[in-house]
Structure 1
Amino acid sequence: MDKTMLAKAIYDTARLTGQFKLRSGQVSEQYFDKYLFESDPVLLKSIAEHLAKLIPPETEILAGLEMGGMPVATALSLETGIPVVFVRKKAKEYGTCKLAEGQSIEGKKVCIVEDVVTTGGQILLSAKDLVQYGADVQYVVSVIEREAIGRENLEQAGLHYLSLFQMDELLSASSA
């Protein structure tokens, strides 16, 4: 599916109408449920095909952030053949005590994968954690760039940010 068709499919699949209480406490008549496109194998495969073109060629490990980045990173790993790790918000306090489950990230060029970026706050925390565990983190890719402040925050921290779609592209595709 081409990129315009994919944008429309994501919008049509993930946009819900009704009454929804948002994290801020406000009530909205629209809600964008990213898990609906992440759980659709046809959409997820197409997302991975398009997103794979944005992965820097020097990437050795894809890092899917808990929780939404994990299915996207897995699909990207299958598409590109690049190994994936699953990054917790906090390292386990038992067993292996790992932050990133999967292969070793020490000394590796790691590209963080996220589904939707709004402010980039969790990405910044996870990037810092990954670096403390020895990863070389310079890039972040996401399916959707929701707010410009996310890009600003990531770039201000020295990370290169690439997104498949900006939210306005999804909104435009919805009327196509």
Structure 2
Amino acid sequence: MAETTSRTDFVRFSLEQGVLRFGQFKVKSGRVSPYFFNAGLFNSGASVGRLAGFYAEALIKSGIEFDMLFGPAYKGIPLATATAVALAAHPATADRHIPFAFNRKEAKDHGEGGVLVGAPLQGRVVIIDDVITAGTSVRESVQIIRQAGAEPAAVRIALDRMERAGTDDALSSHSAVQDVARSYGIPVVSIASLSDIMELMEGDAQFGEHREAVAQYRDKYGVSQDT
């Protein structure tokens, strides 16, 4: 498996794939962000394979004990699938059988029916997703996992924007990631974060024209605690 141990390596990989870009982007919150991260652009076998390696490596390094993976529809489905494959190839977990499951947006009314596909939800389940914006997919995932009698063990995401929610005159004290961790009492662990993006920018002259804009955005909307 390719070497995927550094958080800044992941930032560089995201830049190479065009997943992370700098400029001016209007995001879902209505803010104009100096950077944009779109995990949907990991859209080839090679890029998703390497992305899965980052997920697997970061999950193992976290020390979180888990029995299986769950991918929320839709983006979480290929992420959980590919991460299970990467874990099967990783020396630390190659001797383990790590199943995965995912949900449908709408219940199937024929065949096996229901909203779940894959292995039965049981034991300690790690939710694999790309980012957390409003926490909706995590909330739905936690509900599904608990209803099945399993235990949500953690949420694993690609990037933590470390960004507070709310309007400019009424910003929340916590980020969406921190709110999810507090609400459900489970860790949310990212492969990389805004801190890692800033670290890369500070050490690489090619990002000089964007560094100040990202720093100002972080100062205005950011939280200090990393995941």
Same fold (TM over 0.5): yes
Structure having the larger proportion of residues in strand:
1
CA distance, structure 1, for counterparts of residue 193 and residue 32 of structure 2: 23
SS at match of 2:127: strand
Q: Which structure: larger Rg? A: 2
Shift of 1:77: 0.6
Greater displacement, 37-46 / 93-102: 37-46
Change (3 A) 1:100 1:50: same
Q: CA RMSD in A?
A: 2.8
Q: How many residues align?
A: 174
Equivalent positions of 1:37-56 (< 5 A) are: 37=42, 39=44, 40-41=47-48, 43-53=50-60, 54=62, 56=64
Residue identity opposite 2:128 in structure 1: V
SS at match of 2:117: strand
User: Which consecutive unaligned segments of at least 5 residues does structure 1 have?
Assistant: none
> What does residue 65 of structure 1 align with?
72
User: Which consecutive unaligned segments of at least 5 residues does structure 2 have?
Assistant: 89-97, 163-174, 204-227
Normalised to the residue count of structure 2, the TM-score between the two structures is: 0.63
> What does residue 12 of structure 2 align with?
8
Change (3 A) 1:36 1:174: farther
Normalised to the residue count of structure 1, the TM-score between the two structures is: 0.79
Greater displacement, 47-56 / 150-159: 47-56
CA distance, structure 1, for counterparts of residue 38 and residue 103 of structure 2: 21
- Deviations along 1:32-86, one digit per CA (max 9) or x if unpaired, are 22112364145324413422323623x2210011122222212221122311112
Q: Alignment identity in percent?
A: 25
- Deviations along 1:6-55, one digit per CA (max 9) or x if unpaired, are 22221343124677554346666753221123641453244134223236
CA distance, structure 1, for counterparts of residue 198 and residue 109 of structure 2: 42
Change (3 A) 1:155 1:99: farther
Residue identity opposite 1:159 in structure 2: I
CA contact (8 A) 1:11 1:170 kept: no
